Amino acid sequence: MLDAVAALLLETGYDGLTIDTVAARSGVHRTTVYRRWRDTGGLLADALDAARDVPWTPPDTGSLVGDLTAINRQIVAALTEVPSITAALIAASFRSPVAAEALRSFWEDRYAAAAVVVERVAPGVPARPVLVASCAPVFYELVLLRGPATDDLAERYARLAAASVSRSSASP
């Protein structure tokens, strides 16, 4: 059923995602879909929670800039694949508070898991702001400015974020 949610979101956007269309696409009776999810926001939140349960291991390239670049490349890939479920979910988050909260939880989980890439080179430096400083410009350039995914996009902002850490750390 969650596959049906993803497929419909990509094909028709949030407006096309209803209990009825999910029931039709998944072959599950609409009463069952309704009993489980109540509304579109619940459907989206469950789809995101399922993604959250997929194990994710942060990269370990041997350098902070390498790790941050690898994470940014994963974000670029997720936002530029055609069609992009991530981009569709971000758009949907502006229509559904439940989806917005599920997206927030998903990202915060990832930042918590990725903290190790900062902590192993710069113990004592708060990891989350460095990760956000590295990743946020990629989201901003691709999602809000709708710019192209240039070859250097992932590395450019990883380098700036890594440089800000190196300045205050004894072991860059």
Q: Which residues bind a copy of itself (CB under 8 A)?
A: 90-91, 93-94, 100-101, 103-104, 107-108, 129-130, 132-133, 135-137, 139-141, 143-147, 156-157, 159-161, 163-164, 166-168
Measured from the CB atom, the residue of 24 and 160 that comes closer to a copy of itself is: 160
Token reading at 150? 């240039």
Phi, psi of 128 (to 5 degrees): -60, -45
Site of tokens 């990743």: 135
Q: Which residue number, 23 or 130, has a Cβ lying nearer to a copy of itself?
A: 130
Largest Cα span, the chain: 61
- Distance of closest approach, residue 153 Cβ to a copy of itself, in angstroms: 10
Least distance to a copy of itself from the beta carbon of 31, Å? 28
> How many Cβ atoms from other residues are within 10 Å of residue 53's Cβ?
7
Closest separation in Å from C-beta 54 to a copy of itself:
20
Q: Rounded to an integer, what distance in angstroms lies between the CA atom of residue 139 and that of residue 14? A: 20
